[in-house]
Amino acid sequence: MIMVESKENIRKKLLRQLLSFAREEIERRSKNVEKIISNLSIYKSAKAIMVYYPLKGEVNLLGIVRKALNKKEVCFPVIDLKNKNLVPYIVGDLERDFVKGPYGVREPDIKKTRQYPVENLDLVFVPGIAFSPSKYRLGRGGGFYDRFIKTLSKGTKTIGVAFDCQIINDLPVSIPHDERVDFVVTESGIH
């Protein structure tokens, strides 16, 4: 009998590994991910994107965001605890437009930014603890991104963002709760 590792064990193991990376290592790998993304035609043509503010150990896309701020509508998610969902808010300044939200995640200050229509998003960058080769993701366990992905328009593309070590062949999946992304980008390429 083949035992599939539990989601919680995978989360713990990968978080431990990600948090062990030196800041310089995260920056170097993140720059490689950003370089790949900036050359994607779906990124170049996107007029409205939603990006996440990185937690410690996550791929940092803030470099690409700084370049996009005056060329694209750039949104970040606000966590809606009541409805257990994410709400995109358009931002203009990476320092002044943010507050610390639930779970310690930096999110747009709703007093300084404005809500953006989900149906107008062209591209959504999705963080994850792990991704499978078939593009399913393992998040932090709250289901926020899975619920959010279900609300996206058919034309909105999703890109999972991770490091190579986060691609897991035997990732356990819970259908219909777990959602797939359209692409996964790591420092070595597109999956």
Rounded average pLDDT over 88-114: 95
Please write the tens of the pLDDT for every residue from 132-146: 999 999 999 889 999
Q: In the predicted model, is pLDDT for residue 5 greater than 80?
A: no
Q: What is the pTM of this model?
A: 0.95
- Predicted confidence at residue 173, as pLDDT, reads 86
- For residue 176, whether the previous peptide bond is cis, meaning omega lies within 30 degrees of 0, is yes
- Predicted confidence at residue 134, as pLDDT, reads 95
Rounded (10°) CA dihedral 172, 175, 179, 185 = 30
- Predicted confidence at residue 41, as pLDDT, reads 97
Tokens of 163: 């490091």
Residues 6+ apart with CB under 8 A from 21: 29, 57
The amino acid at residue 99 is V
Contact 74, 91 (CB under 8 A): yes
Please state which of the ranges 5-9, 17-21, 112-116, 120-124 shows the lowest mean pLDDT.
Answer: 5-9
